[in-house]
Chain A
């Protein structure tokens, strides 16, 4: 009987050699006359253990990692096909502490099967949410999502149900659902993991949204930096279409929905929903004035719901398990779970799905294991390149929308980037301005000009002209209050937080550096 061996096909695992490891396992098995069945699952999100190889045994799926090509002969020698001990052995995969202490809702299927395995998706409860939705009225589906307390996971945290209701009530026969898969924030990869490891949850979520608001077409606007996710989505869409989960009459009803993947072209600002719509229309990705809201006047001028990937991928679970079950997770106005992504200089980087409210310190040390370099943690940036830098004194902050806001931070898309004590925070503040200058769409003056001036002011400040600090704060105030969208409006967050919490880095002269 052949043994099933899992080697992830996720982009991260592949980037550190998973394809080579899979080939080496296949070669070694053939050489030894062992019969194996190699399956390429998604990633569990435990990035530091990639490539994480699993073997199906009578005791369940046992994990080994991180496996290098050179380890493969020794794994066979040790008898890993029957789950034998080895220095890389991690025991039953479900018992790995970093997985056991999570509460996986949206990410529950990650790593279990091939992402585009439709039969596995349905066997693990997939499409139960859509089935239930189709038996309800669209109005009731919207009410269910509203009742769950789900807020947009892209960063703005706007209540999803209210957005859907606005679009559902808008006049017009042609409406659109757009998945914002332009996950451009540094330190975030939850969207990518979901699209590569469980693409049907996004497809099903978009289909439910389409039914709820009366949309007949949808687009997944995917960043060009995610070619693995593109392949997986295209494969999943083809399977879903062939099985009747997309197309003219879904689930035997007269509800029809068509869905397409569209590739972005490397502009960070297109993660802003109106710039995204311009880009989908084939224009420069420049931000639109609001109002009108996209829910009223969106893609090609038609009512459109734009939701983040995690938001949409959570919807099937809510419909299948009920609004109350989701609402019961979380704290305050942050309901459900947070998909936190721990990245940068951290030992145990990866995806952690936990109910809102865990403290930053617990995440960084208990779960993350401190820095990769072994040096002390000095600064943590939460919420992407436009998120604030937090210092040691903030580490007891709870990870939910309100607590972070009270500390001048924001959760954004849940990306958490760790820096050790070798970081120069003035350099990071300058980089934030540089990034804004490179990525500004150019439509509004504070962002387009202010970011360039910001770099110059920081350069003068670092050269020893202390009076420039007042000017920098003034400039940040203009960006904060005068920009058209969050790119210019939030660039001051990393700049000001670096200045407030790490003032010494700005006052060293070039010679003392």
Chain B
């Protein structure tokens, strides 16, 4: 779910104790640097897998920003997620160099094999599909990040094998 689709009137799911500690640690680690907001958001997403909307007021307060300003930043950048991802994240490159060696066929394969489009998580929570535009691996494409690991020269079979080999029981 993208941040835009969160109903504005709904109360935010509260931060758990450990999430709050994580957010506070991220704030403490980066608050004193120049332009601290992105480093804080990166630290939160790295630790939690996403940026819980409920942590935005906390970050906003610490940086003397409005909650709207922080929300505006989180929602602007493709990298930040506002909901937890599936157990695996497949970030497939959609840029031209990968298209020229079959990336579009990979998109079709994933749509039919996993029943998900970009920005969606499969019903069983196994896989989240994300779009990325260029991983800098343009001469070894098509490319993707699978759980943060860069893989090149992809085929539909290789994607299936990589996802299967990483799926936890």
Residues of A at the B interface (CB closer than 8 Å) are: 11-12, 14-16, 47-48, 50, 183-189, 191-192, 217, 224-228, 260, 262-268, 279-285, 300, 341-346, 349-350, 372-373, 381, 385, 415, 417-420, 423, 428, 431, 435, 438-439, 441
Please judge, given known A-B contacts A15-B143, A282-B36, whether A263 and B137 are in contact too, CB under 8 Å: no
A228 / chain B contacts, CB cutoff of 8 Å: 150
Say yes or no: B77 contacts A265, CB within 8 Å. Answer: yes
B17 within 8 A of A: no
B77 / chain A contacts, CB cutoff of 8 Å: 264-267, 285
A191 to B33, CA, bound (A): 26
Say yes or no: A189 contacts B137, CB within 8 Å. Answer: yes
Partner of B136, one of A16, A226, A264, A417: A226
Say yes or no: A265 contacts B78, CB within 8 Å. Answer: yes
Say yes or no: A262 contacts B38, CB within 8 Å. Answer: yes
13 extra A-B contacts, CB within 8 A, seeds A48-B139, A227-B148? A14-B150, A50-B140, A187-B95, A188-B136, A191-B136, A224-B42, A267-B76, A282-B73, A300-B35, A417-B97, A420-B100, A435-B133, A439-B133
Say yes or no: A282 contacts B140, CB within 8 Å. Answer: no
B79 / chain A contacts, CB cutoff of 8 Å: 224, 264-266
A441 to B145, CA, bound (A): 25
Say yes or no: A300 contacts B140, CB within 8 Å. Answer: no
Residue of A nearest to B33 (CB): A260
Flag B26-57 by CB within 8 Å of A: 1 or 0 each: 00000001111111011000000000000000
Q: Tell me the total A-B contact number using a CB cutoff of 8 A.
A: 155
Please judge, given known A-B contacts A283-B73, A344-B101, A385-B95, whether A186 and B139 are in contact too, CB under 8 Å: no
Partner of A16, one of B72, B95, B153: B153
Say yes or no: A343 contacts B138, CB within 8 Å. Answer: yes
The 7 closest A-B pairs by CB, nearest first: A349-B139, A282-B37, A47-B139, A186-B95, A265-B77, A343-B138, A15-B152
Please judge, given known A-B contacts A224-B79, A344-B100, whether A183 and B136 are in contact too, CB under 8 Å: yes
A284 to B39, CA, bound (A): 14
Please judge, given known A-B contacts A342-B139, A350-B139, whether A185 and B134 are in contact too, CB under 8 Å: yes
Residue of A nearest to B91 (CB): A225
A207 to B38, CA, bound (A): 25
